[in-house]
Amino acid sequence: MDVLIVGAGAMGTWFGDAVDADVAFADVDPAAATAAADAVGGEAVSLEDETTADVVCIAVPLSRADEAIADHASRARAAIIDVSGAMADPLAAMARHAPDLERASLHPLFAPERAPGSIAVVRENTGPTTAAVLEALEARGNELVETTPEEHDEAMETVQSATHAAVLSFALAAEPVPEGFETPIYEELRAIARRVTAGTPRVYADIQETFDGAEAVADAARELADADHDEFEALYAEAARKLHEEADQQ
């Protein structure tokens, strides 16, 4: 099996290394395609040439996924897959531009350097080629989490958009404190904020643009800020209740 990966960033490079296939990379930055190919033992090809492959994997930023699918679906002989991070819109684009091909949307729920991990999966028009790709990912120690486009994208409003907004809001609001004044909760949250802010700003902006969630965080923060003593206690109790109910359901 051979795979053409459109997008030679961290996620495209991860995918090229994780699948059991001959891989080629195409990117708007030819140097990035060459670097990814060198990293996984593949080859770099031009976005404009006529290269085709059994599988085309779309590994571009969220905001460019639909356009990339439209431009490169015709290069797939058997299957088209995306790892952009959203599901409803990319799957709709794949259905429009590759109705006869096997189709799947994958969302690795981890940074590439932390692989293996959980991968959300939606299969459409499934067949042996996508099955082989997913088997290869499982063989590398990843756990496949079958879902639907709607379930996934709704979950990302909390898992990504609201979570990132809360962490970044803390980072923006926090002032330096004297050494020795740290509490365990503060230290943990500061460590998370440092981890988040070590990423790529565009990736986080794309997530906020794609998924709702930040407004809910802003509304909750304002409600807490405006609450009197009794109202704050009630909000605290409501937060605890929600988390306990969630834990009981798992």
> Same structural domain for residues 129 and 27?
yes
> Same structural domain for residues 123 and 11?
yes
> Same structural domain for residues 25 and 84?
yes
CATH number at residue 101: 3.40.50.720
CA 185 – CA 150 distance, rounded (Å): 34
> Same structural domain for residues 48 and 115?
yes
> Same structural domain for residues 143 and 156?
no
**Domain edge (last residue) among 147, 172, 200:** 147
> Same structural domain for residues 36 and 125?
yes
Residue 213 has what pLDDT?
95
> Same structural domain for residues 97 and 68?
yes
> Same structural domain for residues 132 and 32?
yes
**Domain edge (last residue) among 147, 164, 197:** 147
pLDDT (tens, 9 = 90+) of the chain, 250 residues, equals: 999 999 999 999 999 999 989 999 999 999 999 999 999 999 999 998 888 999 999 999 999 999 999 999 999 999 999 999 999 999 999 999 999 999 999 999 998 888 899 999 999 999 999 999 999 999 999 999 999 999 999 999 999 999 999 999 999 999 999 999 999 999 999 999 999 999 899 999 999 999 999 999 999 999 999 999 999 999 999 999 999 998 887 7
> Same structural domain for residues 51 and 113?
yes
> Same structural domain for residues 42 and 132?
yes
> Same structural domain for residues 83 and 9?
yes
Residue 37 has what pLDDT?
97
pTM, whole model, 2 decimals?
0.91
107 contacts 119 by C-beta, under 8 angstroms = yes
**Domain edge (last residue) among 105, 130, 147:** 147
- Domain enclosing residue 46, as ranges: 2-147
DSSP states along 159-218: IIIIHHHHHHHHHHH-----TT---HHHHHHHHHHHHHTTS-HHHHHHHHHHS--HHHHH
Residue 36 has what pLDDT?
97
Q: Is 125 left (phi over 0), alpha (psi -120 to 50) or beta?
A: left
